[in-house]
């Protein structure tokens, strides 16, 4: 049915599975539920410390809150082509190397550790390869892909490394097949790329439909909890910026990570917007290279690498991305409007905030921006969504318009109010510490200047 007879909405009906065994003679058979085991006093619940599996990448581990939690289910979302498959394949390869097999083996109940010839455990137990043949599969990682063939995955893997011993590929898009594969090889880590390609036999709808995505995600969730296998699910993002499929997907998983960046630049930010096992303030920075994603342990330095100092329109800002301060360059360019309405182009910043800053500059500092085209950009393709960038944006625009540079060692951060007043922002200490580390000593902050006018007069002479 295309139209709901109840509310009149189009395309709002979603296919779903009803379990007929649950309802007998039209009523629930309540007697079937056994709650004795589940009903416990919270005080008597043993606290459990998770043994986390390292991903092999510090940047990734930090975003996860210290590594992969066994039995957890993590959604990795992002635009098509941003590098989700690449990053997860690399992670799969690293985990499959089994550097920390000892920690993992007791969780996934893999009995034959001798197969992990490269694993830590193999050194301790010098059992010969032939002593135990009952298990054919050692510690392994399973990469399920519904988007590419095994061949294509191999091509990609070869760009990264040639060393992927215990990595299994399953190029299939039937959810039930994943369960079978997991039972067979008992992987320590499972990756599903992507949830939009999965279909379950229980539904008729096409892959990617709300029903299929929801049902497949639920099956995977049960799989994660019952086998203690950590599962990473790739999810594509729609044009509106939501993870395609139902919102319930985000409720179902333990963590939602998003890989961000724009296609024009090589930087990728991995952020968590939900994390049951860690904070959501962490950000991991990667760079896409010819041989896969590389970690960027010192992002500030890289974001400033191309900076030309003492150029009008360039101001350095200390921003907080996730939990850590990041030093970035805000650039502005202003030119006289040739005809019609002045253009306002803002890249990497909130457009509304930039407009407020332009208005505040016009009024408080008497800058004639009414007949000027204004372009503002965050160098390096970074996106900043905090008001702390306001002051740097204002200084950059003022500097560009007056065609005078700000001092070389200047770093600015702070919120600009409508009346041209400056408002303090959080984390000032961390912001300053990171800027000092990179040699910036002259801070233009709301603590030092009360109004935008004073700040502009100080910074641009």
Out of 2, 5, 26, 81, the residue judged to bind ligand TYD by CB under 6 A? 81
* Helix or strand (DSSP H, E) at 432: helix 428-437
* 86 interacts with ligand TYD by CB under 6 A: yes
What does the block give as tokens for 200? Answer: 């379950």
Q: How far is the CB of 335 from Mg ion (least distance, A)?
A: 40
Per DSSP bridges, beta strands 267-275 and 283-289 are antiparallel
* 275 interacts with Mg ion by CB under 5 A: no
In angstroms, the CA 24 to CA 33 distance is: 14
Nearer to ligand TYD, 255 or 455 (CB): 255
Per DSSP bridges, beta strands 422-423 and 324-336 are unpaired
Query: Considering only 78-86, 105-113, 331-339, 429-437, which stretch makes contact with ligand TYD by CB under 6 A?
Result: 78-86
Nearer to ligand TYD, 101 or 288 (CB): 288
Decide: residue 171, CB within 10 A, 0-12 exposed, 13-18 middle, 19+ buried. Answer: middle
Total residues interacting with ligand TYD, rule: CB under 6 A: 14
Dihedral sign for Cα 94, 99, 103, 104, please.
positive
Out of 56, 65, 70, 78, the residue judged to bind ligand TYD by CB under 6 A? 78
* 446 interacts with ligand TYD by CB under 6 A: no
SS3 state of residue 426: coil
Query: Considering only 84-92, 180-188, 282-290, 406-414, which stretch makes contact with Mg ion by CB under 5 A?
Result: 84-92
* 85 interacts with ligand TYD by CB under 6 A: yes
Which of ligand TYD, Mg ion, none does residue 2 bind to, with CB < 5 to 8 Å depending on kind?
none
Q: How far is the CB of 85 from Mg ion (least distance, A)?
A: 3
Q: How far is the CB of 236 from ligand TYD (least distance, A)?
A: 8
Q: Are 17 and 222 in contact (CB under 8 A)?
A: no
Out of 67, 70, 71, 84, the residue judged to bind ligand TYD by CB under 6 A? 84
Q: Are 93 and 77 in contact (CB under 8 A)?
A: no
Nearest residue to 70 (alpha-carbon basis) of 89, 54, 46: 54
Nearer to Mg ion, 85 or 199 (CB): 85
In angstroms, the CA 283 to CA 60 distance is: 8
* 83 interacts with ligand TYD by CB under 6 A: yes
Q: How many CB atoms sit inside 10 A of residue 457's CB?
A: 13
Q: Write out the binding residues for ligand TYD, residues 241-300 only, by CB under 6 A.
A: 288, 290-292
* Helix or strand (DSSP H, E) at 78: strand 73-78
In angstroms, the CA 325 to CA 413 distance is: 11
Which of ligand TYD, Mg ion, none does residue 141 bind to, with CB < 5 to 8 Å depending on kind?
none
Nearer to ligand TYD, 83 or 380 (CB): 83
In angstroms, the CA 302 to CA 288 distance is: 13
Q: Are 216 and 222 in contact (CB under 8 A)?
A: no
Whether the upstream peptide bond of residue 194 has omega within 30° of 0, thus cis, is yes
Query: Considering only 80-88, 313-321, 335-343, 351-359, which stretch makes contact with ligand TYD by CB under 6 A?
Result: 80-88
Which of Mg ion, ligand TYD, none does residue 80 bind to, with CB < 5 to 8 Å depending on kind?
ligand TYD
* 112 interacts with Mg ion by CB under 5 A: no
Which of Mg ion, ligand TYD, none does residue 115 bind to, with CB < 5 to 8 Å depending on kind?
none
What residues make contact with ligand TYD under the rule CB under 6 A? 78, 80-86, 156, 159, 288, 290-292
What residues make contact with Mg ion under the rule CB under 5 A? 85
């Amino acid at each position: 049915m295309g139209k709901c007879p109840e509310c009149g909405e189009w395309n709002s009906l979603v296919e779903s599975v009803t379990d007929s065994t649950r309802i007998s003679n039209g009523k629930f058979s309540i007697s079937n539920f056994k709650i004795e085991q589940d009903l416990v006093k919270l005080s008597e619940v043993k606290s459990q410390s998770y043994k986390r599996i390292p991903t092999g990448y510090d940047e990734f581990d930090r975003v996860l809150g210290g590594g992969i939690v066994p039995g957890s289910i993590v959604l990795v979302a992002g635009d098509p082509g941003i590098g989700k498959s690449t990053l997860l394949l690399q992670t799969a390869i690293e985990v499959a190397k089994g550097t920390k097999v000892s920690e993992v083996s007791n969780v996934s109940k893999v009995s034959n550790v001798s197969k992990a010839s490269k694993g830590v455990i193999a050194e301790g137990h010098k059992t010969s390869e032939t002593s135990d043949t009952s298990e054919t599969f050692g510690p392994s990682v399973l990469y399920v892909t519904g988007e590419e063939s095994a061949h294509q995955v191999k091509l990609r893997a070869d760009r990264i490394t040639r060393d992927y011993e215990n990595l299994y590929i399953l190029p299939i898009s039937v959810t039930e097949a994943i369960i079978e594969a997991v039972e067979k090889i008992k992987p320590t880590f499972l990756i599903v790329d992507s949830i939009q390609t999965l279909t379950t036999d229980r539904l008729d709808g096409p892959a990617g439909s709300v029903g299929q995505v929801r049902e497949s995600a639920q099956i995977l969730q049960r799989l994660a909890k019952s086998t203690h296998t950590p599962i990473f699910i790739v999810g594509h993002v729609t044009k509106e910026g939501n993870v395609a499929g139902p919102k319930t997907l985000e409720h179902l998983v333990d963590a939602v990570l998003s890989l961000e960046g724009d296609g024009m630049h090589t930087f990728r930010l991995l952020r968590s917007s939900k994390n049951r096992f860690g904070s959501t303030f962490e950000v991991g920075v990667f760079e896409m290279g010819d041989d896969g994603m590389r970690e960027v342990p010192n992002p500030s330095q890289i974001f400033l690498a191309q900076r030309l100092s003492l150029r009008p329109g360039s101001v350095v800002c200390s921003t907080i991305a996730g939990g850590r301060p990041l030093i970035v360059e805000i650039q502005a360019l202003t030119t006289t409007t040739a005809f019609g309405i002045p253009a306002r182009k803002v890249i990497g910043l909130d457009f509304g905030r930039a407009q407020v800053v332009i208005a505040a500059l016009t009024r408080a500092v008497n800058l004639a921006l009414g007949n000027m085209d204004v372009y503002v950009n965050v160098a390096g393709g970074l996106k900043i969504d905090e008001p702390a960038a306001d002051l740097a944006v204002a200084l950059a625009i003022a500097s560009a318009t007056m065609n005078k540079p700000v001092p070389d060692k200047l770093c600015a951060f702070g919120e600009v109010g409508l009346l041209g007043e400056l408002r303090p922002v959080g984390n000032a200490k961390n912001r300053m510490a990171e800027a000092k580390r990179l040699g910036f000593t002259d801070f233009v902050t709301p603590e030092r200047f009360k109004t935008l006018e004073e700040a502009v007069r100080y910074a641009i002479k």
